[in-house]
C-alpha cells in the first residue's frame, strides 16, 4: 500500500508526465481531425456470414500436461470443424509437414492445399519460424492452420449466396517466408473473381481485430476530436500517416501495390479502417482490414458486417459470427477433461503398470493446484 507521502509524490510524477505529453497529444488530435471528412455512414445490409477462429493456448490448457500438448482446432461460425491437430514443442516438424500430404503427394489437409498452392513442400519452406529452434513454433503452426482454412474457404468452396468471410485478426502476417503471404492474397483474390465470373456470387474477405497498435495509439485523440460523433454507425480509412506513426515496419502497413520505397510490402494484403458499428459516441471502435483489391466495395462490406454486429453477444456491437466461431472452437469443460483423460491413459501405457500410481499422484497434485488458483 502507498502511504500518504508516496501518493502525493506519485500524483506529482504522473501529472508531470501527462503535461510533458500534451504537445504530442495535440499533434495526434490534429491528425485525427484530418480523417473527419473521410468518415462515411454505414448502410446496413443482410448476408450470410462465416468466420474463423483458432483456439488459443488459454482455451486448451490442461492441468496435467507433461508433454506440453497443444490442441490446434479451427472451427467456423456454423460449428463445422475445419482443422484438428495435436502438436507439442517436441513434435517432429518434418513429419508434421509430411502428414499434410497423401503418399502420392496430393494435399490431404487444408494446410497441405495451401502449401501446394504456394509451391512449397515443407513447413520450414512455408515459414522460417518452423525451424524448431524455438518452442514458439507451435503457436506459429496454429496460425498457419488458420490461414490455411481461410485459403480453403475462399479457393476451394462453392457459395450459393453472397458471403462475407471474416477472420479474427487483420489481413497481415509476418510468419510467411519471402513474398508467400502476398502470393496467398493474390490467389484468394483470383478465386473470388472466379466465383463471381462462374456463379455470379460475391465473396468478400475481411479481418477484424479487437486491439491494434494504431487504434491504441490514437484512441484518445479520436475521442477528443469527435471524429465519429455523427449519430450513426460509421467507418473511415486509416491514413498512411497514422500507420507510419504507429508501426515500425512499413512492409506491414504499405499497400501491396506500393513499390515506391525500400523493401516490397510483403506482410499485408489489406486496407485498414476504423469502424464503429453503433450510433453512439461511447460505442466501441474496431480496426478492420478488407482486401486492398476490394476497397471500392467498402460500403457494402461494412453494411453486411454492421448487420451482423448489431446481433453480437456477449460482446456488444462486435460481429456475432466471430463470437459464434470463438464459442465453437474453444476446447474447454468436458472436452478438456476428455483430452486430459486420454493424455493420462497414454502416459500410463508408456510407463507401465508399475509406475502408473506415480502418474495418478502427479495428476491429482496438478488438479489441486489448478483449482487452488482458478
Strand order in the sheet with 40-41: 40-41, 234-237, 270-276, 286-291, 203-209, 163-168, 48-54, 70-76, 81-87
Residue 200 near residue 189, CB atoms below 8 Å: no
Give the residue among 302, 291, 169 at the shortest CA–CA distance from 232.
302
pLDDT (average), residues 12-34:
85
Asked which of 73-87, 265-279, 342-356 is least confident by mean pLDDT, the reply is: 342-356
d(CA 227, CA 194): 38
Q: Give 365's pLDDT tier (boundaries 50, 70, 90).
A: low
Q: What integer pLDDT is reported at residue 57 of this predicted model?
A: 37
Q: Please state whether beta strands 203-209 and 163-168 pair in parallel, antiparallel, or not at all (unpaired).
A: parallel
What are the start-end ranges of the H helices in 21-128? 22-33, 93-98, 110-118, 123-126
d(CA 344, CA 149): 30
Could you please report the per-residue DSSP string of 302-332?
A: HHHHHHHHHT--SSTTS-HHHHHHHHHH---
Q: Model confidence over 213-233: pLDDT tens digits?
A: 999 989 989 988 899 988 999
Q: Give 65's pLDDT tier (boundaries 50, 70, 90).
A: low
Q: Please state whether beta strands 270-276 and 203-209 pair in parallel, antiparallel, or not at all (unpaired).
A: unpaired
The terminus-to-terminus CA distance of the chain in angstroms comes to: 25
Going 133 to 137 to 138 to 144, the CA torsion angle's sign is negative
Q: Model confidence over 256-269: pLDDT tens digits?
A: 667 666 666 789 99
> Residue for cell digits 503398470?
353
Question: Where along the chain do its domains lie?
Answer: 40-329, 333-372
Q: Model confidence over 103-141: pLDDT tens digits?
A: 999 999 999 999 999 999 999 999 999 998 888 899 999
In sequence order, which residues have a C-beta less than 8 Å from that of residue 230 and are 6 or more positions away?
A: 39, 41
d(CA 124, CA 89): 15
In sequence order, which residues have a C-beta less than 8 Å from that of residue 84 and are 6 or more positions away?
A: 71, 72, 73, 74
Q: Model confidence over 40-64: pLDDT tens digits?
A: 999 988 877 777 655 443 455 566 6
Q: What integer pLDDT is reported at residue 372 of this predicted model?
A: 41
Going 171 to 172 to 175 to 178, the CA torsion angle's sign is positive
> Residue for cell digits 486430459?
340
Going 245 to 246 to 249 to 253, the CA torsion angle's sign is negative
C-alpha gyration radius of the chain: 24
d(CA 319, CA 238): 20
Amino acid at each position: 500500500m502507498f502511504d500518504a507521502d508516496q501518493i502525493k509524490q506519485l500524483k506529482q510524477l504522473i501529472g508531470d508526465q501527462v503535461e510533458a505529453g500534451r504537445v504530442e497529444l495535440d499533434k495526434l488530435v490534429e491528425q485525427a481531425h484530418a480523417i473527419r471528412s473521410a468518415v462515411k455512414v454505414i448502410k446496413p445490409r443482410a448476408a450470410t456470414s462465416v468466420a474463423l477462429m483458432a483456439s488459443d493456448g488459454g482455451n486448451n490448457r490442461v492441468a496435467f500436461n507433461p508433454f506440453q500438448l497443444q490442441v490446434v482446432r479451427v472451427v467456423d461460425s456454423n460449428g463445422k470443424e475445419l482443422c484438428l491437430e495435436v502438436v507439442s514443442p517436441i513434435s517432429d516438424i518434418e513429419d508434421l509437414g509430411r502428414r499434410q500430404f497423401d503418399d502420392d503427394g496430393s494435399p490431404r489437409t487444408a494446410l497441405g492445399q495451401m502449401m501446394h498452392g504456394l509451391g512449397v513442400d515443407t513447413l520450414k519452406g512455408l515459414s522460417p519460424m518452423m525451424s524448431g529452434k524455438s518452442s514458439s513454433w507451435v503457436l506459429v503452426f496454429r496460425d498457419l492452420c488458420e490461414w490455411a482454412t481461410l485459403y480453403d474457404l475462399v479457393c476451394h468452396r462453392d457459395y450459393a449466396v453472397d458471403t462475407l468471410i471474416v477472420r479474427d485478426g487483420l489481413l497481415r502476417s509476418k510468419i510467411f517466408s519471402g513474398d508467400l503471404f502476398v502470393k496467398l492474397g493474390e490467389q484468394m483474390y483470383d478465386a473470388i473473381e472466379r466465383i463471381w465470373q462462374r456463379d455470379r456470387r460475391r465473396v468478400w474477405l475481411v479481418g477484424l481485430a479487437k486491439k491494434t497498435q494504431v487504434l491504441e495509439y490514437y484512441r484518445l485523440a479520436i475521442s477528443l476530436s469527435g471524429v465519429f460523433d455523427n449519430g450513426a454507425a460509421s467507418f473511415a480509412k486509416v491514413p498512411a500517416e497514422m500507420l507510419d506513426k504507429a508501426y515500425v515496419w512499413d512492409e506491414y502497413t504499405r499497400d501491396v501495390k506500393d513499390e515506391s520505397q525500400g523493401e516490397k510490402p510483403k506482410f499485408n494484403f489489406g486496407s485498414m479502417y476504423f469502424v464503429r458499428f453503433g450510433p453512439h459516441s461511447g460505442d466501441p471502435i474496431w480496426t478492420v482490414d478488407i482486401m486492398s483489391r476490394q476497397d471500392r466495395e467498402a460500403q457494402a462490406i461494412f453494411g453486411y458486417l454492421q448487420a451482423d454486429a448489431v446481433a453480437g453477444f456477449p460482446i456488444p456491437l462486435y460481429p456475432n459470427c466471430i463470437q459464434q466461431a470463438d464459442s465453437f472452437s474453444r476446447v474447454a469443460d468436458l472436452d478438456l477433461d476428455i483430452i486430459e483423460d486420454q493424455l493420462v491413459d497414454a502416459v500410463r501405457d508408456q510407463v507401465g503398470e508399475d509406475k502408473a500410481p506415480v502418474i495418478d499422484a502427479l495428476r491429482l497434485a496438478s488438479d489441486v493446484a489448478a483449482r487452488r488458483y482458478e
